[in-house]
Amino acid sequence: MKILKKILIVIAIIIAIPLVVALFVKKDYAVEREIVINKPKQDVWEYVKYIKNQDYYSKWNMADPNMKKSYSGTDGTVGFISSWESTDENVGVGEQEILKITEGERMDVKLRFKVPFEAEDDAYMITENVDGSSTKVKWGFYGAFPYPMNIFNLIMDMDKQIGGDLEMGLRNLKTVMEKP
């Protein structure tokens, strides 16, 4: 009986330690990357404000050419929803909705992941004039892990995980936009 009691105490401690640690770990994360595109701001904005154009530069959209997509609303306007469904576990099932547009400047979207896990995150695209013929584009994501899942912030570097994909997408966008 004493051995069983000691085993239960050890198990309780093993379970309690991560839960206590998670109380002190940040819940949120933010990742942003930027690139300069040699095109006027208005040209770049008129391209990035359309979610469907992500098929030509976003690593995630390009990951599964057989992905099923559906849309509701008018692309490039608040309320537009782009949904995807893929059997590729790296793509999964989800949707993104345009929440806010500051014309010529910024677009905010809500990402809703359904499979392989449920989560909601926010993303944005910002265009800034560098000079008359070039534009800085910022692409960012931010979100939070709920307690006690925030313990994963200790072992997962969201900046490294998402940042590389954003960089690739921005390089693809630069290539698409700068084609003669």
Domains along the chain with CATH numbers: 27-178 (3.30.530.20)
What does the pLDDT read at residue 5?
86
Best CA proximity match to 82, nearest among 142, 73, 67: 73
Check residue 106 and give its pLDDT. 98
For residue 155, the 8-state DSSP code is: T
Cβ atoms of residues 74 and 51 within 8 Å: no
Evaluate if pTM is beyond 0.75.
Answer: yes
Q: For residue 60, how far is the Cα from the chain centroid?
A: 9
What pLDDT, on the 0 to 100 scale, is given for residue 14?
A: 81
pLDDT at res. 157: 77
As a whole number of angstroms, the distance between CA 50 and CA 47 comes to 6
Q: What is the pLDDT of residue 22?
A: 66
Q: How many helices (H) and strands (E) does the chain have?
A: 4, 7
Q: Helices (DSSP H) in the chain: which residue ranges?
A: 2-22, 41-48, 59-62, 158-178
User: CA 63: distance to chain centroid?
Assistant: 14
Mean pLDDT by 10 residues, the chain (180 residues): 84 78 76 97 97 95 92 98 92 96 97 90 96 96 76 74 93 95
| CA distances (Å), origin 161, targets 90, 130, 155 | 12, 28, 11
